[in-house]
Amino acid sequence: MKILAVDDNDVNLRLLETLLRNDGHEVVSARNGSEALQRLRTEAVDMVISDILMPVMDGFQLCKEFKRDENMRKVPFLFYSGTYTDSKDKEFALSLGAERFIPKPMESKRFLGIINEVLGDYKKGVLAPPQIQAQRDDAVYMKEYNERLVNKLEKKMLDLEQEIIKRKEAEDALRKAHDELCGFSQGLEKKVEERTRELKEKSRQLIEAERLAALGKMANKVAHELRNPLTVIGGFARRMVDKASEQDPNRKYLQIIVNEVDVLEKTVSEVIKIEDKD
């Protein structure tokens, strides 16, 4: 059986085409009601499956024009929509002469079951005639059509308002998280700076301590190296003082040497004593 699939969404249209072809049907397609009518005037089909919300000419308008044409009106017309899904939408769709109103999404097996049931009745010639409301003029149609559009627009507006509220809440939460993160980051940065200063000061103290320790070791080494020569010099100087007479002019100079050696020996002993304690 040959089916015309009408949908402006390429993804939805490809899925519908694939589903129907895998079930053994021949499929032609159109992307809006105007394009669908042009195809229908040049080739015959056994069924039309149409979305509702489409540009140029939507599904409601397509069905209205389709069922007006004596050559096409007996062909089954099915709505397949994920936007117009409430009971008023279905009521209006069936009043235009559609044989079925199928909401998206629907499980594939069930969907194909409806399609094949309608095609079977059409092929047998037992398909019930469409329930087109009698004596419906364009003014009545436009009133009901506009009601459906306004209803859908209001729903879209409500959905949009809810989406805006959710986005604002998400933005507020993100801003709060950002502020908290910035505060945490600033606090962390301050702690890092303080810790860095502490480490620098400890490092400076450690370097200074190491420098002093090195100087101490060097002083101790020098003191050890000076102690023996000072002992020798002091010993000779004392002996010379003891041997010199009171009238010897060099005696006072020798005593100065002894005194200075005593001072140096005392200093050296203090240095070695301090270093040995460490």
Give kind and range of the element (H or E) at residue 130.
Answer: none
Q: Is residue 226 exposed (0-12), middle (13-18) or buried (19+ Cβ within 10 Å)? A: middle
DSSP sequence for 225-264:
HHHHHHHHHHHHHHHHHHHS-TT-TTHHHHHHHHHHHHHH
Top-confidence range, 62-71, 123-132, 187-196, 207-216? 62-71
Most confident listed range (28-32, 91-95, 101-105): 28-32
Between strands 100-103 and 77-81, the pairing is parallel
Q: What is the DSSP string of 65-109?
A: HHHH-TTTTTS-EEEEESS--SHHHHHHHHHTT-SEEEESS--HH
Confidence at residue 36, expressed as pLDDT on a 0 to 100 scale: 96
Distance CA 245, CA 98 (A): 149
Determine the residue type at 10.
D
Q: Please compute the mean of the pLDDT values over residues 216-232 and round it to a whole number.
A: 72
Residue 115 has pLDDT above 60, yes or no: yes
d(CA 60, CA 73): 14
State the pLDDT at residue 34.
Answer: 95
* Overall average pLDDT of the 242-264 stretch: 79
In whole angstroms, how far apart are CA 75 and each of 19, 66, 125, 129?
21, 9, 11, 10
> What count of other Cβ atoms lies within 10 Å of the Cβ of residue 52?
26
* CA-closest candidate to residue 75, choices 37, 130, 153: 130
Find the distance separating the first CA and the last CA of the chain, reported in whole Å: 106
Asked whether residue 136 carries a pLDDT value surpassing 50, the answer given is yes
Q: What are phi and psi of 131, to 5 degrees?
A: -90, 65
pLDDT at 25 over 80: yes
Mean predicted confidence (pLDDT) in 108-132: 89
Q: What percent of the chain has pLDDT over 90?
A: 33
Q: pLDDT value at position 134?
A: 47
Closest CA to 101 of 113, 84, 116: 84
Q: How far apart are CA 101 and CA 95, in angstroms?
A: 11
pTM: 0.55
Under DSSP, the state recorded for 47 is E
Angle, nearest 10°, between helix axes 138-243 and 87-95?
140
Q: Which residue has the higher pLDDT, 12 or 165?
A: 12
Torsion of CA 91, 96, 98, 101, to 10 degrees: -30
